[in-house]
Structure 1
Amino acid sequence: MFQRDYFMRMIEQMTEAVGQILNLRRERKHEDALLYIDELLDKKFRLSSKLIRSLSDEDLMKMMTTNGILETDHLQAIALLMKQEAEVNAELEREDESFFAYLKSLHLFVRLALAGAEPTFAEPREMIKELQDKLLPYELPMKSKRLLLEWNVEEGRFDSAENLMHELLEDNALGLAEAEAIYRRMLLQTDSALEAGGLPREEIMLGLESLPGHHNV
């Protein structure tokens, strides 16, 4: 009962907070919106807003893990606030700040999806799609591509995973052994799952054979 009440309060508070940010944006009080986001980050998560922005998504996950349990609700809230911050900065035409906030939000939502987190404030998969659309005009860092590669494989989007894999191979950001392991992981799926994921078994076999120094399946 206590836990349910706690989550309900958090949901209510976050819904109210996002509503307040949207109101400030509508009133074109963008700097006030950014200050409000800062205050929320400072008050809610035991970490300063400056530290939250400076930590990598991996480090942030470690900080948000207590007794081996990931506080997914807190991470979702931070990811959602980072998305709001990105949108405010976009409206202010602060492209760099907007890009990095969108990217941090994307990384956190992908990691939440990979961790199988239940949606508290937002559905991670929906957020990932929206954030990817926002970031389409940009070349993503290799770290982001590797994370999205893992997520696409997990989600059964095998054609998208292969495209990312080739990009990473071309940039020497993925080892041949890693690429081979990903192809072999795909081969464990059923034919229907591979077809649905846009990469039939024959194409995977061809991709595997095209890797220099691959071992026969």
Structure 2
Amino acid sequence: MFERDYFMRMIGQMGQVMGQMMGLRKEQKQEEALFVIDDLFNQQFRLNGKLIRSLSDVDLIRILTTNGVVETANLHAIALLMKEEGEILEELGRLDQSYVSRLKAFHLFMRLALLDAPLLLRTPSEEANDLALQLKAYELPEATKRLMFEWYEADGRYDQAENVLYELLVDGMLLQEEADDFYRRLLLLPDERLIEGGLPRDEVLEGRQQVSTSKIV
């Protein structure tokens, strides 16, 4: 009951925060909006903004895990604030900083999706999809691509998982055995699931053949 009440309070609070951010951005008060985000980091969580920005997504999850239970509401709120920060920094022309904030938020939302975390304002996958589009122009790090590969597969988007798999293979970031394991997992699924995921069985077999003969182009 306590966890549910806390989650509901967090939903209400983040809804108000996002409304406040929208208002400040419309008034061209981006710097003020960044101060608000920083204050929220310092007041709402047991980590300050500087530490949150310096920690990896894996470290954040580790710190925000109590007795084996991940504090998904707090992680989701942090990810939302990082995403908002990225958009504000882009409006200010600080593109390098915007990229860093968005990438951190992207990782957190993908992690939350893999944890099957409940939605706050939207589902983690919906938020991650937005960030995937915003980051599309960038050459993403290996860790990001690997996480995308895992997320797309878990989300049932097998065609997109395969696209990332090809990128990893071409870049020498994925072992042939790992790619083959992906196709073997898919072959265990019913045809309906594969079709829904955009990768019918014949394409799965073709992809596995290409991997086994190193014919990835």
For normalisation by structure 2, the TM-score amounts to 0.93
Identity of aligned residues (%): 50
Residues 85-106 of structure 1, C-alpha deviations (whole Å, 9 max, x = no match): 0010010011111111111111
* RMSD after superposition: 1.5
1:142 and 2:145 matched: no
Normalising by structure 1, report the TM-score. Answer: 0.93
| 8 Å contact kept, 1:156–1:197 | yes
Cα–Cα, structure 1 residues 146 and 16, in superposed 2: closer, same or farther, change >3 Å? same
Q: Is the 8 A contact 1:76 1:121 kept in 2?
A: no
- 1:35-92 deviation per Cα after TM superposition (whole angstroms, max 9, x unaligned): 1101101111100101101111111110110000000000000000001100100100
What's 2:57 paired with? 57
d(CA) in 2 for partners of 1:192 and 1:3? 37
Displacement after TM superposition at 1:121 (Å): 3.1
Q: Tell me, in whole angstroms, the C-alpha distance in 2 between the residues paired with 1:18 and 1:40.
A: 12
Q: Which residue of 2 aligns with 1:47?
A: 47
Q: Give, in whole Å, the separation in 2 of the partners of 1:199 and 1:121.
A: 31
Please name the residue that 1:204 is paired with: 204
Structure 1 portions without partners, runs of 5+? none
CA contact (8 A) 1:153 1:186 kept: no
Counterparts of 1:15 and 1:208, CA distance in 2: 45
Tell me, yes or no, if the aligned pair for 1:142 and 1:168 is still in contact at 8 Å.
Answer: yes
In structure 2, stretches of 5+ residues that fail to align are none
Separation in 1 of the partners of 2:213 and 2:76?
Answer: 42
SS in 2 for 1:47: coil
**CA offsets per residue over residues 106-152 of structure 1, 9 Å max, x none?**
11111101101011233112111111111122221111111111111
| AA in 2 matched with 1:136 | K
Correspondence for 1:190: 190
Counterpart amino acid of 1:202? D
Aligned partners of 2:77 and 2:167: how far apart in 1?
A: 32
State the partner residue of 2:154: 154
Instruction: Return the offset for 1:213.
Output: 6.8
* Distance in 1, Cα, partners of 2:209 & 2:5: 55
The amino acid across from 2:54 in the alignment is: S
Q: What pairs up with 1:34-183 in 2 under 5 angstroms?
A: 34-183=34-183
